[in-house]
Amino acid sequence: WKRLSQGLTRTASNLTTGITDLFTKKKLDAATLEDLEDILIRADLGVQTAENISAVVGKGRYEKDIDPEEVRALIAGEIEKTLAPVAVPLVFDSAHKPFVLLMVGVNGSGKTTTIGKVASKLRAEGKKVVLAAADTFRAAAIEQLKVWADRTGAAIVAREQGSDAAGVAFDAYAKAKAEGADVLIVDTAGRLQNRTELMAELEKVVRVLKKQEPAAPHAVVLVLDATVGQNALVQVEAFKRVAGVTGLVMTKLDGTARGGILVAIAAKHGLPVHLVGVGEGIDDLQPFAARDFARAIVG
């Protein structure tokens, strides 16, 4: 919570300053509400959410005094209402052995780090984990995943850079199955610049997994970097189409995050938000809590 609220400080202080300027010693009218919408849109909350909030704030309060504290509480309440339905934990259903988790997202979003953190949590629960280094495009990605495998005591299947991603996924599934692993986590490449290639590669990875287990992947989790703001929305749309995303993780909420975009994504897509990353350390991954997040955004 502390890291989250620190990370969202800038968003919160911009909102607070805007709201304080707007509502101090002033009666509420249509112009104030329009200004409020602008402030909320600048905080990346999205047009729909901004309109909803401004309607809630305006209801029954026209031409009345309203203090900034009350406005902030109303905003936090509305944000929480939007986020609560999407705060859904990532469940590794033990009916699937292995449970196959496909991790997708653009390079640099924190995908490999998140895989390491998830593997660490699963290992702590005594689960047997296999990692598949199917981001074969970058040598560094393969090396980094090996480091996480060492740190967490997960097994890993990796080939040299440039080899076939689907081949790695195939071998990794076979190994996980043969060894009775509980969870297989598949890392993938995230070159959004070349969508056709990315799509073909991801499709092939999914195809070979399905050949071995028709219900796989059991979860497709998109990792989003909280510092990219509006671009996260573009990434959700692209990966939903390409990979059939079933849930989200938002990383880097400890830095100079622009977490408001998560509200816009929740309002528009309703995808489950499973976890949030609040640091580079192995334990810096937390379940997504709607109320904490709403409070951190409003400050």
Binding of ligand GDP by 279 (CB under 6 A): yes
Q: Is 252 annotated as a binding residue?
A: yes
In angstroms, what CA-CA distances link 122 with 3, 20, 145, 174, 183? 23, 45, 16, 20, 8
CB 82 to ligand GDP: min, Å:
22
Residue type present at position 270: G
List the x/- string, 72-101, binding to ligand GDP by CB under 6 A.
Answer: ------------------------------
User: Does residue 254 belong to the site contacting ligand GDP (CB under 6 A)?
Assistant: yes
Distance, CA of 14 to CA of 135 (rounded, Å): 38
Selected binder of ligand GDP within 109, 120, 136, 188 (CB under 6 A): 109
Q: Does the bond joining 89 to the residue before it have cis omega, within 30 degrees of 0?
A: no
Q: Out of 251, 271, 292, 294, name the contact with ligand GDP by CB under 6 A.
A: 251
150 known ligand binder = no
Determine if residue 59 is labeled as part of a ligand binding site.
no
* 113 is a site residue for ligand GDP (CB under 6 A): yes
| Pair of tokens at residue 52 | 């909803």
DSSP sequence for 47-60: HHHHHHHHHHHHTT
Taking CB atoms, the residue at the shortest distance from ligand GDP is 277
- Which CB sits closer to ligand GDP, 82 or 251? 251
Whole-angstrom distance, CA of residue 220 vs CA of residue 215: 12
Among residues 14, 20, 107, 286, the one that binds ligand GDP under rule CB under 6 A: 107
Question: Which of 121, 128, 252, 274 forms a contact with ligand GDP (CB under 6 A)?
Answer: 252
Footprint of ligand GDP on 134-153 (CB under 6 A): 141, 144
CB 75, min distance to ligand GDP, A = 25
User: Least CB distance from residue 251 to ligand GDP, whole Å?
Assistant: 4
* 134 annotated as ligand-binding: no
Tell whether residue 255 is a contact of ligand GDP (CB under 6 A).
yes
Is 121 annotated in a binding site? The answer is no
Per the annotation, binding residues for GTP are 105-112, 187-191, 251-254
Per the annotation, binding residues are 105-112, 187-191, 251-254
Residues in touch with ligand GDP (CB under 6 A): 105, 107-113, 141, 144, 251-252, 254-255, 277-280, 284
